[in-house]
Structure 1
Amino acid sequence: MAEATTSMVDLLAAYPGARRALFSRYHIGGCSSCAYRDDETLAEVCERNEIGVSEVIAHVLQSHEVDKGMLISPTEVKAMIDDGKSFVFMDTRTREEHEAVAISGSEFMTQERQQELFGTSKEDDVIVLYDHTGGRVLDTCAWFQGHGLKGTRGMTGGIDAWSNEVDKKIPRYRLEMD
C-alpha cells in the first residue's frame, strides 16, 4: 500500500504506472527540474512540490486500477493463440533481444509498424505488447491506447513470465539494467 513513508523506488515497484501518473498530473519525475531520488519518500516529494500526500496516493491508486485493465496474463495470451483468435502480438524489446529469443508468432515492433497500426487499426482491434519483464510495457500500452487503440493490452511479466508460465523452452536471460 502506498503511504507517505514509502520510498519512491518501492512505490514504483508496487505501482509500475506511478511514474506516468505522477508526471501526467503533477509534472513530477519527468525532467531534471522535477526529478526525485529513489530513496526519497513520497511525503518528501509531495512537500517539495507542494502537493498533498493523500491526493497523490489517491491518484496513484486510481491510475493503478486503470493500468490493471490494460494488462493480460501470458496464460490468457496463450489461450487466445490456442483458440485461433486474431490479434497483433508485438515485441517491444530491442531488435537484438528479439533476434536472440522471441515468442513464436510475435513480431518486432518497428516505428513503421507502430505508425501503420495507428493509421489502420480499429479502436477495438486486439494488440498484445510484451517486453522483457513487464516493467515498461504499461507505458507503451498507454501510448497505443492514447492513440485510440483501446484494445491494446500489455502482457504481465513479459517474455520472462512467458518462459516460466507457458513455454519453458524459451530461454530466460537477465539484462544489466533489470
Structure 2
Amino acid sequence: MAQPQITADTKMGDIMDALPGARRALFARYHLGGCSSCAFSNDETLAELCLRAENLPVDEVIAHLLDSHQHDLAMLVEPVDAKTRLDSSAPPRLIDIRTREEFEAVAVPGSEFFTQELQQQLFAGDPATVVFLIDHTGRNALDMVAWFRGHGLKETYAITGGIDAWSRDVDKSLPRYRVEME
C-alpha cells in the first residue's frame, strides 16, 4: 500500500479517510480530535489545526501520523485475505462490532455479534486466539483492535473497509448500505 501524501494544506476529512487511525494518533499524542474542546472539522486544514493547537510543528504532526499509519497497517487484513484465512482448517474468530440492527440486517456468514458476554469470554480465553473484527466501513474496527490488543489479544486484526468492502470484494450477495445519522 502506497504511503498517503499529506501536506499542511490537506483537509482533516481527507486525512481521516486516508489514515483510518489518524484520530486516535492525534488524540494520543496531541489531545486533538477526541472531544468537543479539541475537535476539528473535516474542512479544516492540518496547518490550521496545528496553528490553533498551540502552533504545533506541522512536519512533526505529519511524521507522527505517517508513523502511526505504518503501525496500523500491521493490524489490518484485506477482505480477500481474511476470507482465505476464515476458510482454512484453523479459522480465526470473526467478530462483528456493528450495531445489533446492522448485524441482523446483513452479516458475514459465521460472524459473531459482539456482546458484553462475548467480550468477557474472549478476554478470559486463550491470548493466542486469532480474531478478525469487522465493522461497517473500517473506521471503527482499527480502534477496537488496539483495545483488544491492549487487553492481551495480540492476534487481533481489523478487516480493511469493513463489511462494505467485504460485500464488494468477497461476497457480492451481501447488500451494501449506508447508515443515516440524524
TM-score normalised by the chain length of structure 2: 0.92
1:91-133 C-alpha deviation (Å, 9 max, x unpaired):
01000111111111110001221122112231x3210000111
Q: Identity percentage over the alignment?
A: 58
- Is 1:38 aligned to residue 42 of structure 2? yes
1:46-92 C-alpha deviation (Å, 9 max, x unpaired):
11212111111000000000111100011111111222223211001
> Unaligned stretches of 5+ in structure 2?
none
1:123-170 C-alpha deviation (Å, 9 max, x unpaired):
x32100001111211111111112221100000111111111111111
> Unaligned stretches of 5+ in structure 1?
none
Aligned residues: 176
Work out the CA distance in 2 between the residues paired with 1:89 and 1:31: 30
Partner of 1:143 in structure 2?
Answer: 147
| 8 Å Cα contact 2:32/2:38 also seen in 1 | yes
1:6-32 C-alpha deviation (Å, 9 max, x unpaired):
111111111111000000011011112
Work out the CA distance in 2 between the residues paired with 1:164 and 1:176: 20
Stretches of 4+ aligned residues off by more than 6 angstroms: none
RMSD: 1.2
Q: What pairs with 1:120-135 in structure 2 (closer than 5 Å)?
A: 120-122=125-127, 124-135=128-139
